[in-house]
Structure 1
Amino acid sequence: MTQPRTASTFAPPVMEARRWLEGVDHPGDRPLLNVSQAAPVDPPPENLRAAMAQMIVEDPTSHIYGPVLGLPALRQEVAARWSDAYGAAITEEKVAITSGCNQAFAASIASLCSDGDEVIIPTPYYFNHAMWLDMSGVKTVPLKTGDNSIPISSDAEALITPKTRAIALVSPNNPCGVEYPADTVLAFFKLAQAHGIALIIDETYRDFDSREGAPHPLFTQQDWDATLIHLYSFSKAYRLTGHRVGAVVAAPGRLREMEKFLDTVTICPNQLGQRAALWGMQHLSDWVAGERLEILDRRAAIADNMPKLEAKGWELLGCGAYFAYMKHPFDLSSADLAPRLVKDAGILLLPGTMFVPDSDPSGAQQLRVAFANIDRSGIAKLFDRLVAFIP
């Protein structure tokens, strides 16, 4: 008997990790430090919530079906903002709105791949990308990265076969946090272009990039839309996680293929979420800039505290956006270490085994810390607990 598509992949890692909390008590003087999930738990800022409440009451169209590819005003705003941010000329017809960035990736793969096709993704990878490829009957081809967690295009070229349909990058990276240099991203674009495959680049965390200006020149390349599929999420910048709003920028023909997928899954993106994203883009630039500075300060706090762990044999493999990716010194797999940290240190984080294939032993020595919901003071407490931990 054949198995269903869902049986071809692993359990959702964040949900799996939450089960480690069952039956574990956390004393008042040592509350749980949850650094497992890369999403803000706070609601949108109050002025955005007020605007959303007004939309619910006064805008009847926020409750009904809309265009499959998204609210025209939001598509126009994205096109204008991206044109300005990347020094390019991007038009509304090359923008679609999706129900979160995960759906943008899923729609992209649906428009590119068939059973048995291949997609190259750097490891450690974002696990939901690997899960969707598994359930789509598409082979995940892992591209190992070195100690700096940055992939090399020549290594990817050696993995390309007649079945390769795309290379997928995430920058700033999840889980490693590293910001891919512009030259690296451009090299991957040229590689994909030369081989007639797509380059998918997920920039969910671009609002928290430490660099000023455009992080890459891809939108200024000739015929960029014949190769590039660009993904984005409004969830992180505006705390709209529960409203599921993302975006994809690609060739109009590619978006028409994605429309078939989107129409059969959600019919249209969340109407209230889209309007909230549009309001946020038009009114919250200063607020988002402040959020970026806070995240950059937390990144700095990781660097400030890291010497304490390094003295114990830990290594920092990458840090940026919402993430610090670490190598631990223990003779214990991270798959076993992570549940122990819940019980013995009051820390919930994810093991590196969740970010690599089972055949890759490197994950056993690695851990991901997501600091979206822990400030500088909390980071200091986190490091103190890790320093004191003895397995």
Structure 2
Amino acid sequence: MSGVRPTPVNPRYAATIAPPVMEARRWIDGVSFPEDRPLINLSQAAPVAPPPEPLRQAMAEALLTVPESHLYGPVLGLPVLRAELAIQWSTGYGGVIRPDQVAVTAGCNQAFTSTLSTLAGAGDAVILPTPWYFNHKMWLDMEGVEAKLLPTGDDLLPNPEEAETLICDRTRAIILVSPNNPGGVEYPAALLRAFYDLAKRHGLALILDETYRDFHSQTGAPHDLFTDPDWDETLIHLYSFSKAYRLTGHRVGAVMASPTRLIEVEKFLDTVAICPPQIGQIGALWGMRHLGDWLAGERLEILRRRDALVSGFQRLPGWQLLGCGAYFAYAKHPFSQPSDQVAQRLVHDAGILVLPGTMFGPAKDQGGNGQAEATLRIAFANADAEGLSDVVDRLAQLST
């Protein structure tokens, strides 16, 4: 009806980018792919296969025989799952994590949003390396929290000394992801320790997202931060069950932080979701207790796919892998066009869907260093070695 005033939209939401994976999917709407060159979708880091059958059977049995699985559960998660996480993380990291330092969330994104909300509000600031994980940046933008961007070079590793220059009286936290999304790089233990010491020295939180820890190329603990008896005064650890046990649709993640912090996190969780999904938690617990060998095999398969892609890129002139690990490769392309145009060109010219670096960092006209326009993220874990060989072949056929 003309003359009717539209309902308002929060201007911070209006200024936030659209969900990148959904945006990329629109690029393939109406596009036909020939039978001999079907679409290879490497845009999203999500397992496409269901969980192992024994895990599905355990979840189905709970659905049928455990009446309380249909009810609201504890806001911070099932006590038995919190306790199992505390036990296994204490063993794996060589530190002491108590159940009251663990909360279960409806996915790792909720683990991030809930903890960040207890730390910072509109007008506050956090330090965020680029390339960033886009949902982290989106949440900061929607909440009005300034992201003080920490550029990285071709090694994709953030520099603690440069980070220290960004700290001001509004800074509340440093955010790291390792193994990194989107870069695939694994932050060395010494680098994580340096950032931990920096955060501790300035009274900041270090939010460390380790969603992809199960696919680290090194065995053993990726860092020693949990060995500090007062780790929870500085470190906030985030985890996801989505990749480890293929539980993406069941939304199960975790936060490890101080009990005082989790009291505040509980307020967020109760307001947003009331409790994490019960069946997903039951599946996560069963997986932790019974699928250690299976998960070890999954890790080796991901490492084989990583090696296949690294080998393949060695025969691609003009391309450069900046990082490759866990679920992701981050590559410099050889084309003169910016990465958002290159990514859309790949759909039509190669039948490949990847995400452009412009979804993970600032463009030059936004103060970026040009890395965003020059790079692409490849979610290689979604293709087997044969499929990745096909990816390389298709890229090799493109003209610069």
TM superposition score normalised by structure 1:
0.98
Correspondence for 1:43: 50
Shift of residue 344 of structure 1? Answer: 1.1
Correspondence for 1:351: 356
Correspondence for 1:367: 376
Provide the C-alpha distance between the structure 1 equivalents of 2:88 and 2:188, rounded to a whole number of angstroms.
22
Correspondence for 1:272: 279
Structural mapping, 1:250-289, within 5 Å:
250-289=257-296
Provide the C-alpha distance between the structure 1 equivalents of 2:11 and 2:249, rounded to a whole number of angstroms.
28
Correspondence for 1:134: 141
The amino acid across from 2:323 in the alignment is G
Is structure 2 residue 388 aligned with structure 1 residue 390? no
Which whole-Å deviations, capped at 9, do the CAs of 1:301-324 have from their partners, x for residues lacking one? 012111111xx2111100000001
Provide the C-alpha distance between the structure 1 equivalents of 2:358 and 2:96, rounded to a whole number of angstroms.
41
Shift of residue 181 of structure 1? Answer: 0.1
Provide the C-alpha distance between the structure 2 equivalents of 1:222 and 1:92, rounded to a whole number of angstroms.
15
Correspondence for 1:326: 331
Where 1:229 maps in the other structure, the secondary structure is strand
Provide the C-alpha distance between the structure 2 equivalents of 1:332 and 1:301, rounded to a whole number of angstroms.
27
8 Å Cα contact 2:302-2:326 kept in structure 1 = yes
8 Å Cα contact 2:95-2:228 kept in structure 1 = no
Shift of residue 3 of structure 1? Answer: 3.8
Shift of residue 4 of structure 1? Answer: 3.7
Shift of residue 390 of structure 1? Answer: 2.1
Provide the C-alpha distance between the structure 1 equivalents of 2:322 and 2:290, rounded to a whole number of angstroms.
36
Provide the C-alpha distance between the structure 2 equivalents of 1:258 and 1:141, rounded to a whole number of angstroms.
24
In structure 2, stretches of 5+ residues that fail to align are: 1-7
Correspondence for 2:113: 106
Correspondence for 2:184: 177
Which whole-Å deviations, capped at 9, do the CAs of 1:88-140 have from their partners, x for residues lacking one? 11110000000000000000111001211001111001000000001111011
The amino acid across from 2:398 in the alignment is F
Q: 1:332 to 1:386 in 2, by over 3 A?
A: same
Mean Cα displacement is larger for which, 173-182 or 351-360?
351-360
The amino acid across from 2:152 in the alignment is T
Provide the C-alpha distance between the structure 2 equivalents of 1:189 and 1:295, rounded to a whole number of angstroms.
29
8 Å Cα contact 2:252-2:284 kept in structure 1 = yes
Which whole-Å deviations, capped at 9, do the CAs of 1:41-83 have from their partners, x for residues lacking one? 1111111111111111001111110000000000000000000
The amino acid across from 1:302 in the alignment is L
Mean Cα displacement is larger for which, 139-148 or 237-246?
139-148
Correspondence for 1:94: 101
Provide the C-alpha distance between the structure 1 equivalents of 2:149 and 2:296, rounded to a whole number of angstroms.
35
Provide the C-alpha distance between the structure 1 equivalents of 2:170 and 2:44, rounded to a whole number of angstroms.
33
Q: Which runs of 4+ in 1 moved over 2 A?
A: 1-5
Shift of residue 23 of structure 1? Answer: 1.1
Provide the C-alpha distance between the structure 1 equivalents of 2:362 and 2:76, rounded to a whole number of angstroms.
34
Where 1:5 maps in the other structure, the secondary structure is helix
Provide the C-alpha distance between the structure 1 equivalents of 2:148 and 2:16, rounded to a whole number of angstroms.
15
- 368, 390, 395: which one pairs with 1:381? 390
Provide the C-alpha distance between the structure 2 equivalents of 1:281 and 1:4, rounded to a whole number of angstroms.
43
Provide the C-alpha distance between the structure 2 equivalents of 1:349 and 1:16, rounded to a whole number of angstroms.
11
8 Å Cα contact 2:96-2:229 kept in structure 1 = no
Provide the C-alpha distance between the structure 1 equivalents of 2:301 and 2:141, rounded to a whole number of angstroms.
36
The amino acid across from 2:389 in the alignment is A
Shift of residue 326 of structure 1? Answer: 0.2
Is structure 2 residue 203 aligned with structure 1 residue 159? no
In structure 1, stretches of 5+ residues that fail to align are: none
Shift of residue 147 of structure 1? Answer: 1.1
Shift of residue 2 of structure 1? Answer: 7.5
The amino acid across from 1:299 in the alignment is R
The amino acid across from 2:353 in the alignment is L
Where 1:367 maps in the other structure, the secondary structure is strand
Provide the C-alpha distance between the structure 2 equivalents of 1:344 and 1:224, rounded to a whole number of angstroms.
50
- 280, 300, 304: which one pairs with 2:307? 300
Provide the C-alpha distance between the structure 2 equivalents of 1:141 and 1:17, rounded to a whole number of angstroms.
27
The alignment covers a number of residue pairs equal to 389
Taking only the aligned residue pairs, the percentage that are identical comes to 62
TM superposition score normalised by structure 2:
0.96
Provide the C-alpha distance between the structure 2 equivalents of 1:315 and 1:2, rounded to a whole number of angstroms.
42
Where 2:281 maps in the other structure, the secondary structure is helix
Mean Cα displacement is larger for which, 235-244 or 367-376?
367-376
Cα RMSD after superposing both structures? 1.0
The amino acid across from 1:134 in the alignment is D
Provide the C-alpha distance between the structure 2 equivalents of 1:10 and 1:35, rounded to a whole number of angstroms.
20
Shift of residue 149 of structure 1? Answer: 0.6
Which whole-Å deviations, capped at 9, do the CAs of 1:149-201 have from their partners, x for residues lacking one? 11110010010000000000000000000000000000000000000000000
Provide the C-alpha distance between the structure 2 equivalents of 1:221 and 1:193, rounded to a whole number of angstroms.
12
